[in-house]
Amino acid sequence: MLYTFIHTIHIYSVFIYGGFLFVDILFLSKMQQSLNENEYKKAREAIMMHVRKVVPYALMVAVASGLFLFSQIFGKIGPNGFSSFQIVLSIKAFLGLWLGFRGINQKLFGINPWVFKSHFFPFTLVVIIILLSQFMFLDFTSF
């Protein structure tokens, strides 16, 4: 029951974070084409002041709940080493932790990202994590 509850929270928080990245990359960045620079800055800031109240915390919840889920489903390492499931899960965890580290530094400590200052790279990582979650349960040793 606890696992299902935290898994649901994890999914919702990932939707909030990933959904914002999706909207920012595909729509908000296109506002520059129809608004002048001053209007664009005003419109973007009007949206971002609300985003900053929700999205970074959704990322932190996604990372924290992801760590819990990881601890529950990783399992024991077999005599032959990591299973394909554990390898893919570890890659997902690494990418999620990188996003969380970046987000926590930015929100709590005011440290801006050193590289990849746009949202395109985090969006790409979220898409990769989603794709990996679809392949996690495949057994690659049988191919």
pLDDT tens-digit readout, 1-50: 999 999 999 999 999 999 999 999 999 888 889 999 999 999 999 999 99
Q: How sure is the predictor about 78, in pLDDT bands with cuts at 50, 70 and 90?
A: confident
Structure tokens at 18: 């990933």
Q: How sure is the predictor about 141, in pLDDT bands with cuts at 50, 70 and 90?
A: low
What does residue 118 show for φ and ψ, rounded to 5 degrees?
-85, 175
- pLDDT value of residue 110: 79
Burial of 46 (0-12, 13-18, 19+ CB in 10 A): exposed
Q: How crowded is the C-beta side of 119, counted as CA atoms within 13 Å? A: 17
